[in-house]
Structure 1
Amino acid sequence: MRDEQLRLTVLGSATPYPSVDNPCSGYLVSSGSSRIWMDAGSGTLGPLQQHTRLDTLDAIWISHLHADHSADLLTAYYGALYADISLAAPIPLFGPPGIADRLAAFLTNSSARSPIESAFAVTELSDGHQVDVGSLRLTTRAVVHDIPAFAVRIEATGRSLVYSGDTAPCPTLTELAEGCDVLLCEAESTQVSDQGDQVHHTPEDAGDTATAARAGRLILTHVGRSLTPPEAVTRAATRFDGPIAHADPGTTFTIG
């Protein structure tokens, strides 16, 4: 019998650049035969291949276009078109507005635009976007960052995972995470934009969001380099009394 449980595998969780043993933000979400690469931060394509090939992915979902969440799309492009992979069709890619042109601007080396669409079938995200990818249902909401950014709720077999992407605390994330089994929430630091606005969660903010959303479990990711993961977990626990873990690279969590 095929295993249909909803699972989250951490490919990497570092920020803003990979550490010696931890790539940047990237995750594999799976249920049965359905697989989504969720954020493609620097260094995540390598560990992704421990679990699946590019040509067996059902989709890629990108929260925003900062390099620590999207840079490995560039190497994935070369892998998909110019190596040992023969795509039956372009890989569905869900990402912020402008993602195709951003990739093409980096990859184009002549007067002819690189054929981004030969590797990726691009759908631009918008607030409230919803799509079924195999057995997985994805619901996207816009969140508050210093560039266009999105969070996602992924549901399968009656279970739910919500990923914050990068965002300051905001009502749309809390609404999206309402009653979820697991909230995968960034906890970088108190960082502000050039305009002085908060653009990330602190560990305490992550705890507050999990509590407000009545999440069943909190997994901290994208922890800033000024903190150790145990310090971040301890701080989040002052605001959330449910189970808390850190997104250690290589870890697989069964949702629910």
Structure 2
Amino acid sequence: MARENLSLTVLGSATPYPSVGNPCSGYLVSGAGARVWVDAGTGTLAELQRHVRLDELDAIWISHLHADHSADLLTAYYGALYADIRLAAPIPLYGPPGIADRLAHFLTNTSVRSPVESAFAIEELQDGHSTRIGALTLTSRAVSHGMPAFALRVEGEGGSLVYSGDTAPCPALTSLAEGCDVLLCEADSAEIPATGEQVHHTPENAGDTARAAQASRLIVTHVGRSLTPRQAVAAASTRFDGPTVYAAPGETFRVG
């Protein structure tokens, strides 16, 4: 495969369930010949196949285990082991602690544990985890979502992309995103909950994080259903002066 610059393809950006024409959170990050499925929300496996087969993936990375970010791992398991896919080796899967047992618990319907490790070579994330996928470097930081959750920085071929996953504003995300070319940041909530127990970014928070990190460009995603994408972009733009757009399903963004 020809080497290409870093790019981000939006497989889906809906929450907390798919919209017509828009699956839940999922992205294909490509660069330097490597292809990584980042988050596997409901409906994203079908869109992934417009670009790459399961047996052509170099890795899968999962931010946290809410269904709108991970549910399609279940059907990917069946595709990898019991259909037309012939894996040369299990697909490297990076995810939060306990991801293997969580998958196996759902998939197992007899006294014999489902062989999730035959489909996925699982490595648990921790704060500061770093790995190389081909010529790409993937660095993960623990973020604030009320459960084990991670943000991701991908660097390669002249570009850097940071993905927030789901999180309240937190220093770990700002630090991870410092100087990045593209910040892909959730903008789920229209306002901060009255309880003060914030677990998501508002669009304004996304703009604040992009500005604090000195990101070059902001892409808002995971926009909550109380907002339109246009409203989310407009609100984020009140806090961030750089280019700001919406993660429209099917769109590909060049990074760097």
TM-score of the superposed pair, with normalisation by structure 2: 0.97
Q: For residue 218 of structure 2, what is the aligned residue in structure 1?
A: 218
Task: Find the counterpart in structure 2 of residue 153 from structure 1.
Answer: 153
Q: How far 1:28 sits from its partner (Å)?
A: 0.1
Q: Secondary structure at the match of 1:9?
A: strand
Q: Tell me if the contact between 1:191 and 1:199 (Cα under 8 Å) persists in the aligned partners.
A: no
* 1:233 paired to 2:242: no
1:121: which partner in 2?
Answer: 121
Tell me how far 1:191 sits from its aligned partner.
Answer: 5.7
Correspondence for 2:29: 29
1:207 maps to amino acid? G
C-alpha distance in structure 2 between counterparts of 1:191 and 1:222, whole Å:
16
Deviation at 1:4, TM superposition (A): 2.1
Contact 1:130 1:137 in 2 (8 A): yes
Q: Which runs of structure 2 are paired with 1:29-68 in the superposition (5 Å)?
A: 29-68=29-68
Is the contact between residue 32 and residue 156 of structure 2 (CA under 8 Å) also seen in structure 1?
Answer: no
Q: Which residue of 2 aligns with 1:81?
A: 81
CA displacement, residues 193-215 of structure 1 (integer Å, 9 cap, x when unaligned): 9x852000000000000000000
Q: What residue in structure 1 maps to residue 185 of structure 2?
A: 185
- Asked if the contact 1:92/1:121 (under 8 Å) is kept, the reply is yes
Report the Cα distance in structure 2 between the residues aligned to 1:165 and 1:58, rounded to whole angstroms.
Answer: 20
Q: Does 1:207 align with 2:207?
A: yes
Q: Which residue of structure 1 aligns with residue 248 of structure 2? A: 248
Q: Distance in 1 between matches of 2:146 and 2:41?
A: 18
What does the per-residue CA deviation read over 1:137-158, in whole Å, with 9 as the maximum and x for residues that have no partner? 0000000002110000000013
Question: TM-score normalized by structure 1?
Answer: 0.97
Structure 1 runs of 4+ aligned residues shifted over 3 Å read: 190-193
Deviations along 1:77-135, whole A, 9 cap, x unmatched? 00000000010000000000000000000000100000000000000000000000011
CA contact 2:32–2:157 (8 Å) conserved in 1: no
* Matching of residue 198 in structure 1 with residue 225 in structure 2: no
2:8 counterpart letter in structure 1:
L
Aligned-partner residue type, residue 187 of structure 2: A
Identity across the alignment (%): 74
- AA aligned to 1:211 is R
User: CA separation of 1:111/1:192 partners in 2, compared to 1, >3 Å: closer, same or farther?
Assistant: farther
Pairs aligned (count): 255
**Contact 1:192–1:199, Cα closer than 8 Å, also in 2:** no
